[in-house]
Every structure is written in C-alpha cells, then in structure tokens.
Amino acid sequence: MNIWPLLLESSSSAIASAGEWSTASLLALALGFLVAAVLLIVLEFFIVSGGVIGALAAISAVCSIWIGFSVHPLVGWALVIIIPIIFYNSIRMGVKRLQSSSFVPQANIEGNAGYKQVADALGIQVGSIGEMTTNAMPTGRCHFPGGEIDVAMESGSGQRMEQVIVTRIDGPEIWVRPHHV
C-alpha cells in the first residue's frame, strides 16, 4: 500500500479546511504553537527527559510554521525566521542557567588530582624507594615508609618483593621502575 498519496491528500484537505477558520483564529493557533514550543524548550532545561521535550518543542514549532503558511506566506516566512532565533536564545539561556546552577558540578579536575595528594600525605615523591607488595602487570601495590599505594610500572612488569623507585607522579598515577642497588 502506497501511503504517500494518502498523506498528500490529507495535508491538502487540511489546508483546504483551514478556509473554514478565520484568519485571526489561525493566527492565534500559530502563535499558541509558538508559545508552546518556547515553553517546552525552556522546560527541557528543568526536567531531564533525554530530549523528548525538545523534540515536542520542535514538533510544535513546525506546526506553528505550517499553520502560519496556511494563514499567509508572509506569516509562515516570518515564523521560519523568528523561531530559530527564539530557539537559539532559549537554549543559550538554558545553558547559562545550567552553568550557574548549584546542582551541576563546577569544579575542574586539574593535573594534581588523583594520587598526588595521597602521595604527598605518605611522603612519596620522585626518587622514593619502595617494595612491591603485589605483582605489577603493569599496575600493582607498593609499600613505602609512609604507607602502601597503587603504582604503575613504566615498562614491563614488577614482581612481589622487588625494590622500585618512583620516576614520576602524573595526576592519578605513580610511575615506578625496578631499582637495583
């Protein structure tokens, strides 16, 4: 069954039946769909919907444009120009609201994040010598005089009870290599 002729016939009959409505009522309906679209796009930033409310806003905007063209082509084209501007400003306002919200984490994770603070608290720094408490393939646990911490081998793997030396502390990772006395 070919559905396209049915869709074209129903849309043309809907436009033809629009002649039964007054121009003012169609204009009010188009503006009502426009207001609904704006309210829905703003609501999208307050309710987590996975974009469903945004899709409804887009459908409402398309309906507004379609009804606008049935009123007069000038109204339709005006809505085609105005709606993207309104959507852009609404989305911009919503993003600014989210950025200033206390519900959204605002802190950035810097290079000092991770084990750097733990390493400092345990007195571990570049050049510190420790002993592997587990096999490292390539990560494992290492005991230092200040305590035990997870480490990563720079190359290869490390064996339990092997002496290692810290070569660098890079954000969340402490890098070690075997230390031969």
Higher pLDDT among residues 21 and 54, named by residue:
54
pLDDT at 57 over 90: yes
How much of the chain, in percent, has pLDDT values that exceed 70?
A: 81
**38-54: per-residue pLDDT in tens?**
999 888 888 878 889 99
* φ/ψ (deg, to 5) at 106: -110, -15
Given a cut of 80, is residue 70 above it in pLDDT? Answer: yes
Per-residue pLDDT at 80: 94
User: Nearest CA to 65 among 97, 33, 96, 17?
Assistant: 33
Q: Read off the pLDDT of each residue in 12-41 and give the average, rounded to a whole number.
A: 80
Higher pLDDT, 113 or 131: 131
For residue 96, pLDDT beyond 50: yes
pLDDT at 6 over 80: no
Cα 31 to chain centroid, rounded: 31
Non-local CB neighbours of 86 within 8 Å, separated by 6+ positions: 34, 37, 38
Distance CA 13, CA 6 (A): 10
Cβ atoms of residues 16 and 8 within 8 Å = no
Nearest to 181 by CA among 133, 129, 143: 129
Question: What's the average model confidence in pLDDT over 94-123?
Answer: 71
Pairing type for strands 129-132 and 139-144 reads antiparallel
3-class DSSP state of 72: coil
